[in-house]
Amino acid sequence: MVELDHRARSITNETGLDAFTRDALALLRSFWRGKWIIASAVLLALAIATTFILLSTPLYLSKAQLLIDPRAKRVLQTEVVPTGLGSSAAGADSLLVDSQVQIVESDSVLRQVIADNGLDRDPEFARGGGLGPLGRLRDALGYNPPIGTPVDLALERLRRLMQVKRLGNTYVIEIGVLSRDAPKAALIANAIAEAYLADQSSATSSSTKETTETLVGRLSALRQDVLQAEQAVEDYRKANHLIDAQGVLLDEQRLQDLNIRLNAARTRRDEAQSRYDQARRMALRGAGAASTADGLDSPAIVDLRESLVRFDRAHAKIVSELGPRHPDRRSFEAQRAAILQQLEREIGVTVERAKNALDLARRDEAALAGDLEKVKTQTLTNNDAQVKLRALQRDADAARSVLEAVLARAKQSGEQEDLSTTNFRILSPAVAAFRVAYPPTLIVLAIALIGGLLLGCGLAWLSDRKRTQPVIWEFS
């Protein structure tokens, strides 16, 4: 062996290799000379790893997946689940999902799981402690013994046996649970997911209930505000005589009515004036010149004019047939004179009646015009008061709108108390695993193999260096 080593050195020197290559070859030679040390280290590491694997309690891992959809359900609107992505920013959505991870690991969720599944009475959880043979050894030796109630110990143990993480940059949270019993691991993982959903639903319902109670408590004050505002409007109306009917002020109604009546009075006055003028013209022309058309709607004048026309025709006939000296002519003339006198009296009565009607129409017009001016003055005075009235009315309308909005929101919130508006769901329930997850046999053996090789190579190099370059102790 020594001769082979010297020969390799001589060949290396003769070939003229560089320093790095020579050092590498020297290191390989050291490893070769210490191959039994390396083999022993590897075997020792593998033996330790095998012992750890054999002594470790096999645990099964079951995983449940939750989908955290940031889009809230719109239960009382047209869309139950809105289309598209969440309305918040990507960073806000990421923080939302990360926050849900912490909620899944919170005491409120895990304690509910412990209570529902009796983990505080389960020997695997009630004793607390660590994982693996080292943890059991520490518990057996009394080092850092678990202290607390069974629920606290189960909570600590559950935290050690559970894994909660977000899958990549998604809205999916994975809940993993380790247990000696594969079905139990799946049961607990699903229980954690369901407890989380129940906690979120309860939190939403509680928040909605608090909102409803707040709104209902506010309704009494809002109703009082509306009552005061409407009372202020009515008091101001009464104080300023701004009484309305069907949404229109009485003064405005009176103004409209007076305008209509005044226009009608003016029409009647014009008609009375026309009738009076016609009667005067007829009186000026005289009874003999009046025609039947000038009767002014008087039946007596019309009858007298017709009688006068008949007498005139009869008189003309007598004159033409019997001559102007006939005795009946004088009788006809006397009768005609009587009719003319009666017609003149009737025309005078008609003129007087027309004048009285004209005077009455003028008085009515003047009275209505005076009333209209008074109402106009009152309306102008009320217009200034209506400015304040409209301001009070706006306040009352605003208070009423707020009351109606809060009342509608309170009813809607009350309906939502028993409705789930969160859009979280179990995407994939956990199932019983058929392979052991802990301890990871291949990983432990791989680490032991690599560690043994490194340790053996290091010991071989040190042994070879000590043999070829003995340590010289120097004493001063």
pLDDT tens sequence across 8-49: 455 445 444 567 787 777 778 777 877 888 888 889 888 888
- Please name the residues in contact with 162: beta carbons below 8 A apart, sequence gap of 6 or more: 105, 175, 176, 177, 178, 188, 189, 192
Q: Which helix (H) or strand (E) holds 335?
A: helix 327-416
What is the average pLDDT across 291-316?
63
Would you place residue 80 in the very low, low, confident or very high pLDDT band (cuts 50, 70, 90)?
very low
Q: 23 and 9 in contact (C-beta within 8 Å)?
A: no
The token duo for 183 is: 């079905």
What is the average pLDDT across 303-330?
66
Domain ranges of the chain: 244-416
More confident residue, 198 or 468: 198
pTM, 2 dp = 0.53
pLDDT at 113: 92
Number of residues written out for the chain: 476
pLDDT at 304: 67
Peptide bond into 439 cis (omega under 30): yes
* Pairwise CA distance, residues 233 & 239, whole Å: 10
Average pLDDT, the chain: 75
What is the average pLDDT across 321-330?
62
Evaluated on CA atoms 150, 155, 157, 161, the torsion sign reads: positive
More confident residue, 379 or 185: 185
The token duo for 200 is: 């979120």
* Pairwise CA distance, residues 120 & 125, whole Å: 6
Considering 113-117, 228-232, 240-244, 464-468, the range whose residues carry the highest mean pLDDT is 113-117
Q: Is the pLDDT of residue 246 over 60?
A: no
Q: What single DSSP character describes residue 82?
A: -
pLDDT at 65: 92
* Pairwise CA distance, residues 151 & 168, whole Å: 33
**Exposed/middle/buried for residue 328 (C-beta within 10 Å: 0-12, 13-18, 19+):** exposed
Considering 86-100, 234-248, 322-336, 388-402, the range whose residues carry the highest mean pLDDT is 388-402
Q: Is the pLDDT of residue 104 over 70?
A: yes
- Please name the residues in contact with 291: beta carbons below 8 A apart, sequence gap of 6 or more: 305
Give residue 19's identity as a one-letter amino acid code: A
Q: pLDDT over 70 for what percent of the chain? A: 68
Q: 323 and 227 in contact (C-beta within 8 Å)?
A: no
More confident residue, 97 or 247: 97
Give CA torsion, residues 31, 32, 34, 38, to 10 deg.
70
pLDDT at 5: 52
pLDDT at 302: 67
Q: pLDDT over 90 for what percent of the chain? A: 8
Q: 449 and 41 in contact (C-beta within 8 Å)?
A: no
pLDDT at 92: 61
Return the minimum-mean-pLDDT range out of 268-282, 388-402, 409-423: 409-423
Q: Which helix (H) or strand (E) holds 436?
A: strand 436-438
More confident residue, 87 or 37: 37
> How many C-beta neighbours within 10 Å does residue 327 have?
8
pLDDT at 210: 79
